[in-house]
Structure 1
Amino acid sequence: MAARSSLPENPAKRRLLRLKTRAEFLKVQRGARRATPSLTLEACRGPDDSALRVGFTASRKIGNAVTRNRAKRRLRAAAAEVLPKEGRAGFDYVLVARAGTLSEPYGRLVADLASALALAHVRLEANAGTA
């Protein structure tokens, strides 16, 4: 009997693990960063090659608590749609809300996340080749 992987065969069904501690967020902050009008994506290699972890943040610069929570909800929805398909196992991601997170149409937010992921992966692979 073949050994079963802990990840589902269909990447769209993969569950996103969460970054929770300040140290985890700071580690990701030192990795690749891609800014778009609606979000900033920070990415780095994680400690576990099989896990795909994500964190969300919105500073007070975005607005009051209600506004920040709305921005993070939009980021969580976009991440749930894009990361299982475009994200890579073994990477940690942080999505930072920007002013455009609430004003941009949702489709644009998803497209921005997908393009930022592609660019971040290119940079991380280039850095891995030189290290």
Structure 2
Amino acid sequence: MRTIKSAKVFEKVFKRGRRVSTPRVRVTVMECSDEGGSGRVAFIAAKRLGNAVTRNRCKRLLRAAAHECGLPLSGQAMLLFATPKTFDASSHEVARDLERALVKAGLRS
């Protein structure tokens, strides 16, 4: 899975992307045709969620959900943000919310 590592790309997606929220995950998505067609994903858990153990668990849940939903989508750059409800959820619940967010964003039907 290709991830977004550049702060420049991260800022670009954050500023220009479409935002969609569900209780367990927030998604910011932007079309990126200049990347050669393959999509990229970033997993974010802010410090306000808790200590390192909490943030790492949230990111693991987001990664598992992304894998279950078949991310990254080609031609899309996505930022997946953990919410306070992410920590207490199972990976299947997070995947269900992520799928719902993709439908809201118009990336799935």
Normalised-by-shorter TM-score class: 0.7 to 0.9
TM-score by structure 1 length?
0.74
Matched, 1:97 2:109: no
Ranges in structure 2 where 5+ consecutive residues have no aligned partner: none
Aligned position for 2:57: 70
Q: Return the match for 1:52 from 16, 32, 39.
A: 39
Q: Among the aligned pairs, what percent are the same residue?
A: 36
Q: CA RMSD, aligned part only? A: 1.5
Equivalent residue letter for 2:104: L
After the TM superposition, which segments of 4 or more aligned residues of structure 1 sit over 3 Å from their partners?
none
Residue by residue over 1:9-28, the C-alpha shift from the partner in whole angstroms, topping out at 9 and shown as x without a partner, is xxxxxxx2110011111111
Ranges in structure 1 where 5+ consecutive residues have no aligned partner: 1-15, 123-131
Using the alignment, how far apart are the partners of 1:56 and 1:105 within structure 2? 17
Are 2:40 and 2:73, in contact at CA under 8 Å, matched by a contact in 1? no
Equivalent residue letter for 2:103: A
Residue by residue over 1:75-131, the C-alpha shift from the partner in whole angstroms, topping out at 9 and shown as x without a partner, is 0111111134xx531000110011011112322211110110121136xxxxxxxxx
In structure 2, relative to structure 1, the CA distance for the partners of 1:49 and 1:120 (3 Å cut) is farther
TM-score by structure 2 length?
0.87
